[in-house]
Amino acid sequence: MSAAVALVWSDWLGLFAHFLVLSLLAVGGAITMAPEMNRYLVGDRGWLTDAQFTASVALAQAAPGPNILFVAVLGWNVAGLPGALAAMAGILLPSTTLAIAAARWGAARREHRFVRAFHAGMAPLSLGLLLATGWVLAEPSRGSLAAMALVVATVAIMARTRLSPIWMIAAGAALGALGLA
C-alpha 46/C-alpha 104 separation (Å) is 40
Number of domains in the chain: 1
With respect to residue 44, please indicate whether it lies within any of the assigned structural domains: yes
With respect to residue 83, please indicate whether it lies within any of the assigned structural domains: yes
Give the chain's mean pLDDT.
87
Of 82, 93, 109, 104, whose CA–CA distance to 5 is shortest? 82
Residue 3 has pLDDT above 60, yes or no: no
Name the 3-class secondary structure at 177.
helix
Q: Per the confidence metrics, is the pTM higher than 0.75?
A: no
Domain that holds residue 13: 9-122
C-alpha 44/C-alpha 9 separation (Å) is 17
* Each residue's pLDDT tens digit, 69-119: 999 999 999 989 999 999 999 999 998 898 899 889 988 998 899 888 988
With respect to residue 86, please indicate whether it lies within any of the assigned structural domains: yes
* Each residue's pLDDT tens digit, 133-157: 878 878 877 788 888 888 888 889 9
Of 100, 83, 85, 92, whose CA–CA distance to 47 is shortest? 83
Residue 19 has pLDDT above 80, yes or no: yes
